[in-house]
Amino acid sequence: MRRVVVLGPQRHVVTVTEELKLLGLSGRIATITAGWQEREAEDDELSAALGNRSVNLRLHARTDDVFAQDQQLFSAHRRRQDNLRQLQDIYRLRLDHLMASATMLMSRAGPPELIEPEREDTIEQLRALDAHHLRRIRDVHEAFEQEELPGERRALAQHRAEVHGILEECDAVAIAGGHVSTLIGRMRLLDVAAGMVAKPILAWSAGAMVLTDRVIAFHDRPPEGAGNAEILDVGLGIARGIVALPHATTRLKLDDHARMALFSRRFFPADCICLDAGNRGHLDDRTWTFTAGTLRIDRDGATVAASPEAE
Amino acid sequence: MIPAIQQLERRGGLDSRVVEMFIRSHTFPLIEGARVTFVWRGQADAVHLRHWVFGLASAQPFHRLAHTDLWHLTIDLPRGSRFEYKFDVVRNGHSQWIRDPLNPNIAHDPFGANSVCQAEGYEVPNWCLPDADARQGTLHELMLNNTAFGGPRPLTVYLPARYRETRRYPLLIVHDGGDYLRYARLKTVLDNLIHRLEVAPMIVALTHPKNRMDEYPNDPHHAQYIVEQVLPFMERNYPVFGTPSQRCLMGASFGGVASLSTAWRYPGVFGKLLLQSGSFAFTDIGENKRGPAFDRVVEFVNAFRENPGRPAEKVYISCGTYESLIYENRSMVPFLQSHGLEVRYDEARDGHNWENWRDRQQSALSWLFPGPLWFVYE
């Protein structure tokens, strides 16, 4: 049975070491630090936390090498990125308008029997837009796969084979955070998901986000002003049923219950799980359990224990 | 609360030693809530505060503390205000403008330097101060030959830290590039905001006018220089996106006019504009009353307001509430919005100066070119 562990940020509270012990694995651990981009190889601390038995898959460097060798693929990749960027802009435009009306409705006073169906309908429209955007993203990825046949290109095929070879020799995979788009993009290009089938996975921050069904970007406190959480990409669908929210306490306005209620209801039926430092979640088969202190945003926008029985 | 200067006045028995003690025991200008007290010490016939706060009389007289050589003036200043000033010291009918000798805060501009008054609630943003942790971008001095002006023109190019030719970057073209670097710390600001992930790593082309008062008010040669020479040069030699949505023109004052008029002459080229305290003077009827320097400005802005077209998609506008141009800038916001442009507008209690334009950079750049903060989860 595969075990998936999602963790809060590891920079100040390292929990991955203990989790690795709990898994009882003695072999090598494949690490993915592609989210760190050019700093991918600066993984001494991570390696130590994993008992100095890790092997970095170097997905970022490998992708750079593939693109350097295969300019045609590089150009096709850029076209895909341009298309995705344009789609994201259009989605954001539509999202802004829907979110504006939904936000007003969430804080509007009135008889619940009148207001609540209107809220639900607006949220349904948001869900429909999110689902539509996710389909469009999936279409762009599929078109890329069908038109460019990346798996048949020599440089990429070679790196994919090497990555799969390393994964085969490892007992588990550890995925660090960083730039979430870079991380999922490089994992997708090197087809990492196919190579880590059935292996235990430990992931934190952006690493946890890419494992979910939908990669959802969020930030309520950027300098340009609070934006709307947005669907960014198709996730790997391994950590199913949750929205992973790293640094939730600092990135989200958790005290703004109307805002959080909209957030939670929009992404329902997935559970919105706060993954702050020290928080952990375990997925065994199809059941999630979370350690004490790990919070979930409920339908009313309040933060509650993600696993009440653990408290 | 009784202002410190009044307490001093009331105590009586003032002599040179007491005045000296008063000066030594305070910092100046003296900020006491909303009250700001300026002092100057010396022999004079009169002393005035000279400032560039539109809405206040431009010369405010000081009062001499009886039996002393201490001159003082207290004014009320709204929270968060910042303005630049000098003292006008009059002796024997001769007027001399000097900086406040008791105030270490100085702002430089192309005309020299002024003292700076920072009211309660104003703070120099920490992102415009050098940060040892922020990786440094680089500046490259280049020369463009055979420009639309008939001769060569210098161009400074900023490349962000960790610049890589295999990446693509947005392009920002800046008017008065040298002044933005010198007086608004643009390089430090870019280095810091990029380091903090608040602004996307970008390539910046900093242009340098020869005679901005001639070139900036809707000069076709200037627009041609920017669009047909600077832009292609940058796109040929640097890995920029090459799409309107990733191109921005920026300028302050007459540079704002140059940015808007260039984008207006070449619609569809620039997706974004960053306009700071733009000199967008116009007339609904009658003559321009701002003097001959504004004749071509008014002619352009009137024509623009008559037929705005679509010079860009997103426009950031800022202006100080102590500027004479505040009404023109405020009126530009609904005007552009009514023509379908996305506009963000910021005001500050500040004047028409480089530090005001510096202080708005985080808000402007993070809105026009948001950094990867949204996408980074360490």
Does B162 touch chain A if contact means CB atoms closer than 8 Å?
yes
Q: Sign (positive/negative) of CA torsion B186, B188, B194, B199? A: negative
Q: What is the per-residue pLDDT for B253?
A: 98
How high does pLDDT run on average in chain A?
A: 96
Percentage of residues in chain A having pLDDT higher than 70 = 100
Residues A139-164: tens digit of each pLDDT:
999 999 999 999 999 999 999 999 99
Whether the per-residue pLDDT at A2 is higher than 80: the answer is no
How high does pLDDT run on average in chain B?
A: 96
Cβ contact (<8 Å) for B198 and A209?
A: no
Q: Which residue type, as a one-letter code, is found at position B9? A: E
Q: Give the A:B interface size as CB pairs under 8 Å.
A: 58
Q: Which of A54-58, B6-10, B268-272, B335-339 has the lowest mean pLDDT?
A: B6-10
Contact A247, B377 (CB under 8 A): yes
Number of domains, chain A = 1
Contact B122, B107 (CB under 8 A): no
For tokens 């639900």, the residue is: A120
* Domains recognised in chain B with CATH numbers: 4-118 (2.60.40.10), 126-375 (3.40.50.1820)
Cβ contact (<8 Å) for B376 and A219?
A: no
**Which residues 187-226 of B are in CB contact (within 8 Å) with A?**
198
Q: What is the per-residue pLDDT for A1?
A: 63
Q: Mutating which of A212, A224, A279 best tests the B interface, going by the most B Cβ atoms within 10 A? A: A224
Neighbours of B6 (CB within 10 A): 13
Measured distance CA(A144)–CA(A84) in Å, rounded: 11
Calculate how close chain A gets to B318, using CA atoms only, in Å.
14
Q: Answer yes or no: is A108 within a domain.
A: no
Q: Answer yes or no: is A93 within a domain.
A: no
Residues A270-290: tens digit of each pLDDT:
999 999 999 999 999 889 999
Considering only alpha carbons, which residue of chain B is nearest residue A9?
B378
Calculate how close chain B gets to A69, using CA atoms only, in Å.
13
**Average pLDDT value for residue range A7-17:** 96
Neighbours of B273 (CB within 10 A): 28
Q: Which residue type, as a one-letter code, is found at position B89? A: V
Q: What is the per-residue pLDDT for B369?
A: 97
Whether the per-residue pLDDT at A311 is higher than 90: the answer is no
Cβ contact (<8 Å) for A222 and B166?
A: no
Query: Structure tokens of B330?
Result: 């405020």
Residue from A138, A156, A231, A172 nearest A29 by CA: A172
SS3 B307: coil
Considering only alpha carbons, which residue of chain B is nearest residue A247?
B377
Query: Structure tokens of A137?
Result: 């993203």
Percentage of residues in chain B having pLDDT higher than 90 = 96
Does A65 touch chain B if contact means CB atoms closer than 8 Å?
no
Considering only alpha carbons, which residue of chain B is nearest residue A228?
B374
Residues B98-149: tens digit of each pLDDT:
999 999 999 999 999 999 999 999 999 999 999 999 999 999 999 999 999 9
List the CATH number of the domain containing A258.
3.40.50.880
Of A78, A222, A246, the CB nearest to B373: A222
